[in-house]
A and B are shown apart, each in its own frame.
Chain A
Amino acid sequence: MQPTDGTAPASPGPLVVAALSWADPRAVVDPLSAEVTADARAGASAADRCALEHALRLAPLLGGRCVAVTVGPADADLLLRDALAAGADEVLRVDAPVVRDPADDGDTTAAALLTGLARVYGRAPDLVVCGDHSAGRGTGATPAFLAARIGAAQALGLLGVSACDGVVRALRRLDGGRRERLTVPLPAVCSVEPTLALRRGPLASVLRAQRAEVPVVPWEEAAGSARPGVRAGAARPYRPRARLLAAPPGPDARARLRELTGADVRPAARRVVFPDTPAEAADLLIRHLVERGYLEGPPGPGDGESF
């Protein structure tokens, strides 16, 4: 465990950091009161756990050590102890209040993480592995800010990351089911999709993790270095939008409700058709949809192609 007094220890090999976000992915937002009910014991998201697994695999391949970091209150230590139990060499928490400035677009978090790491290790990380999206319904921009701040390469949407002879290679998902192989120069920030399960650490690690002291850097100290950049308005918590339905015609509420629910509409008789060709079948389907009001336009002969 590293000292918290700011002394930078001698650095053996690359610093591989798993940046874990402390958020309850199943937090419930009350649609009326906007109250958020989150469980402090939720643990890391699947993508973050996968990021940690990658970091644990990559650190020995690069001849470095794996440090798990998070920003959060004392409850977040649980997350870090899990990381230690899984085999992380060290952990670090930037102590942050439970409710943070909603206008933080990720840059303050990134700055706090990097300041915290610099404080303890005296340097910037060589490789940061993160989950590929914000489990806490945040902006998801923290990895980008991390990369920008340390001038690192950034690779997103990764299905796998490996290292050989000090070179990091990654497999990235592209649209249409295609894949792209990347060679990632260090320093780098890699965001991974949840493709790997986190390993189960041996019993001795669990025992050690439970007894370990978690080093903490105070928020004020760590977050102070965020530089003013483009400021977005406050990012509001997630709200499901109400769906607007145009009121149907009708003299009174009862009639409108009947109209809306289709209570007075006699269901159309079932019709079974046996078209000879696929084109004929397509025409019949389209005509049916137009008749039912799902598609627009009078279906004339030869109109089929226009749909």
Chain B
Amino acid sequence: MFDVVVVGAGPAGCAAALEAARAGRSVALVERGPYPGAKNVYGGVVYGRVLDELVPRWWELMPVQRWVTRRSTMLMTGTQALTVDFRTEDWGRPPYNGATAFRADLDGWLASLAQDAGAVLVPSTVATGLLRDARGRVTGVSTDRPDGDLTAGVVIACDGVNSFLAKEAGLFRPEPGGRHLTLGVKETLALPRETIEERFALTGRDGLDLEILGCTRGIPGGGFLYTNLDSVSIGVVLGLPGLASAKVRPEELLTDLKAHPAIAPLVRGGRLTEYAAHLIPEGGYDSMPELVGDGILVAGDAAAMCLAAGIWLEGVNFALGAGMYAGRAAAAAVASGDTSATGLAGYRRLLEDSFVLADHRKLRRAPGLVFSERVQRQYPGLVCDVVQGMFQVDNPRPKPGLRRLLTRAARDRRVRLRHLLSDTLTGLRSFG
């Protein structure tokens, strides 16, 4: 019998196990992979600020590939690309901002922190269901091991997207499957370190995070390119319903992206070392399940806490934050002897008071806007056309004014200015 059983040694699970173990609770951390991170996929940028609360001077310990000092956003059509490129030296020195890191390294490091604090890692073991007492309260998990029941005061479900533990606990509202899910596909391409430094104008451990809009043939989603030490991660994320109806294979879209004139020179000669695909819960606040049940908490992707709002794709930091609060709330509930939903209610309060739910609430309309038909299909072209018009010199004709360019581009791209205005207002309200 453990005080706390955490299912899933991803960022959420490791943070939960770490906090509960630090509070002096006995903790088991169940992971289906042979080691933490063995089965995990993400693009590659982790924002470590939340770790300040968990690991002092984490930047000296975390297995980092590069520190993101260049943050670019690219809007593209088949033949055009407009990039807004920002760089700052501040993000290349303590206390840093974002970093590229490999999941096997990152999750392994986080799990080792939990182990050092006293949590017991249970690798190569799948949690197959919930154990309940006569009143229906969750009392542990069953696993696929012989004699594999693990009983606990509190179960923290950190089993990632499509969490069947949260579903089995009845915490999700029934709704059509896949509506809030996107599929992320990613390739890692090996390139010599010097080539990366030259192509991306980087030195030392500096790195680039490039987010791309307009590269998915109108399927709701986007693309990304991140630099590691001697490889780049490039990928696309695609809304499942749109992908299904477009009848395109995701790797075809990734091939398109790599062949785009703005991207091809950046990845030329890269040797494919990894291909991975994984679902992302991108529905945001409105698609989250109940976060607390009798004897159970849900955190991270399992609770749809990945923030996907166009220019932001942040899942790891939200998972770390949620896991940390879940671990604390579980430890407090065990200490007080009340692990019912009421005893665990502190978890939701901690989340409400932190960035985890505050950001999600503020940006609750953002996923709808970012994945809308117009943002995905029309606006990248509209913006590119306007910019092309501004910089194209058509002498002897005089320069057209911005208003004229906008009207012309809106007509060509079939954008109603009324819609543009209303989307701008929604954007301002969502992101403002």
Contact = CB atoms under 8 A, between A and B. Distances in A.
Given A41-B35, A200-B146, A203-B146, 8 more contacts: A41-B34, A41-B38, A201-B145, A201-B146, A203-B145, A203-B147, A206-B145, A207-B28
A200 B38 CA distance: 18
Interface of B: 28, 34-35, 38, 104, 108, 120-125, 143-150
Interface string A172-210: 000000000000000000000000000011111011001
A206 B123 CA distance: 8
A266 interface: no
A201 to B, nearest CB: 7
Contacts of A203: 122, 125, 143, 145-150
Residue of A41, A78, A85 with most chain B CB atoms under a 10 A cut-off:
A41
A264 B122 CA distance: 63
12 contacts: A41-B34, A41-B35, A41-B104, A202-B145, A202-B146, A202-B148, A203-B122, A206-B123, A206-B124, A206-B145, A207-B120, A211-B120
A276 to B, nearest CB: 50
A200 B123 CA distance: 11
B188 to A, nearest CB: 13
A143 interface: no
Contacts of A210: 120-122
- What does DSSP make chain A's interface, helix, strand, loop or mixed? helix
Contacts of B34: 41, 43, 82
A200 B120 contact: no
B147 A204 contact: yes
Contacts of B124: 82, 85, 200, 206
Given A41-B35, A41-B38, A41-B104, A206 B147 contact: no
Instruction: Classify chain A: how many residues form its interface, as a range.
Output: 10 to 19
Contacts of A200: 124, 144-146
A206 B125 contact: yes
Nearest to B120: A210
Contacts of A202: 145-148
A204 B147 CA distance: 8
A206 B125 CA distance: 9
Contacts of B150: 203
Contacts of A82: 34, 124
B120 A78 contact: no
Nearest to A204: B147
Residue of A82, A200, A203, A211 with most chain B CB atoms under a 10 A cut-off:
A203
A212 to B, nearest CB: 11
Interface in A199-230: 200-204, 206-207, 210-211
A20 to B, nearest CB: 15
Contact of A207 (B35, B38, B122, B149): B122
A204 B146 CA distance: 9
Nearest to A78: B35
A44 to B, nearest CB: 11
A201 B121 CA distance: 15
Nearest to B108: A41
A238 B147 CA distance: 44
Contacts of B121: 210
A203 B120 CA distance: 12
Interface string A142-173: 00000000000000000000000000000000
